Amino acid sequence: MRKLLVVDSSRPLDVLAAVQDALAGGPAVLPHPGSPDGVPDTVERRVALAIETSGSTGRPKRVALGADAVLASAAAADVQLGGPGQWLLAVPAHYIAGVNVLVRSIAAQTEPALLPPGSFTAERFVEAAAQLGAPRRYTSLVPAQLTRLIESDAALDVLRRFDRILVGGQAVPITLAARALELGLNVTRTYGSSETSGGCVWDGLPIGDTEVRSVDGRVQIAGSVLAFGYLGDPERTAAAFLEEGGRRWYRTDDTGTIVDGALAISGRVDDVIVSGGIKVSLAEIEQVVQTLDGLADAVVVAAPHPAWGETPVVVGTTDVALDVIRAAVSSRLGAAAAPTRMIVVDVIPLTPNGKPDRPGLVALALK
């Protein structure tokens, strides 16, 4: 067995040192922003890192990763990036994207640049970027962060000096990706999860020895980057991981297709609702809505409807006529997918890792 240390993720350099020790055979590490309950004192010897993620039932999952998996992820990233470099840590150190920045820094033997304390702002990003001195510069962002940065002239100038900007954690709106390219930013969309040591599919293509497939519309992933499972949760582990022909696969909660070897995510298994007896995907509706002027940051959630059971509801920061939205969605996805309401808010609420606060938006739609 191996000792498991909980390390305060608000102190990224402490996490960096602990992860470096873990990769060398020292105690395993659970980066965390608080004082988690029910953390075991020890884990299996093969576990080097635990990452806590939220569960659909509200009960957290602690993903158990080995040193080989996270180092395989770092090595595959280096190949895609064209070589190691210096990283700017812009996402929390208890998320797999943040840990990846630290692991890649360890592998490259470079010191990561850190944001000043406080919430994410363009000004803090610019201040952190001033710490970078290596010839090759990288960072990892979520879409909300990239959106905020390209709205700042000073931050945009700094972003153009990065050799690569990885953007993941959630679907990247088509309009945002196109805007970033127009502005001359070297942006790569990444897909993955804690169970896959972070992003293992870049711009739709698997990296390293990662394999992707779609089984009955559900995305599955195999490769060296896979986690062992969930700490103390054999049932969840058995449900999420399977072995076939001597190959382990992680069964994701995402739906998608593989076309010419490229993965296209269409939504999540649980984002399909039945409206008027017809199945519609909230993710597909959201993709269409976000192409409309003023709705690039819009979120689509479901709400009960007296006649149709459930219907899509758009939440955005710009008041766009519902008829315009319905026409755009209907023409692409059919009448059943057309939203029945538009809710205007001052700002889209976000979770600490920069994703839209969907439970909060669902509660708003239920009022």
Q: For 260-313, write each residue's pLDDT tens digit.
A: 989 998 888 878 888 877 888 898 899 899 999 999 989 999 999 887 888 999
Q: How many CB atoms within 10 Å of residue 207? A: 21
- The contacts of residue 145 (CB under 8 Å, 6+ apart) are 90, 91, 120, 125, 354
Q: Which helix (H) or strand (E) holds 84?
A: none
Q: Which of 243, 303, 302, 292 is nearest to 267 (CA)?
A: 302
Dmax (CA) of the chain = 61
Assess contact for 261 and 210: CB atoms under 8 A.
no
Q: Which long-range contacts (CB under 8 A, 24 or more apart) does 78-81 make?
A: 78/104, 78/107, 78/108, 79/207, 79/208, 80/188, 80/202, 80/207, 81/136, 81/138, 81/163, 81/164
Q: Say yes or no to pLDDT of 56 above 70.
A: no
d(C-alpha 156, C-alpha 150), whole Å: 5
Range 60-73 average pLDDT:
96
Model pTM greater than 0.85?
no
Residues 331-350 have pLDDT tens digits of: 999 988 999 999 999 999 88
pLDDT reading at 58 higher than 60 = no
Q: Is the pLDDT of residue 111 over 70?
A: yes
Q: Please state which of the four CATH numbers 1.10.274.100, 3.30.565.10, 3.30.70.100, 3.30.300.30 is assigned to the domain occupying 276-366.
A: 3.30.300.30
Give percent of the chain above pLDDT 70.
Answer: 98
339 touches 128 (CB < 8 A): no
Quick check: do 2-264 and 276-366 share a fold? Answer: no
Which stretch of 10-24, 42-56, 124-138, 247-261 has the lowest confidence by average pLDDT? 42-56
Average pLDDT for 30-44? 93
Superfamily of domain 2-264: ANL, N-terminal domain (3.40.50.12780)
What pLDDT band is residue 12 in, cutting at 50, 70 and 90? very high
Domain parsing of the chain, residue ranges: 2-264, 276-366
pLDDT band at 57 (very low <50, low <70, confident <90, very high): very low
Interval 193-213 mean pLDDT: 97
Return d(Cα 360, Cα 312) in angstroms, integer: 15
Closest CA to 159 of 149, 174, 168: 149
- What is the distance between the alpha carbons of residues 77 and 263, in angstroms, rounded to a whole number? 18
Rounded to a whole number of angstroms, the CA Rg of the chain reads 21
> What gap in Å lies between CA 283 and CA 301, rounded to an integer?
9
pLDDT of residue 358: 85
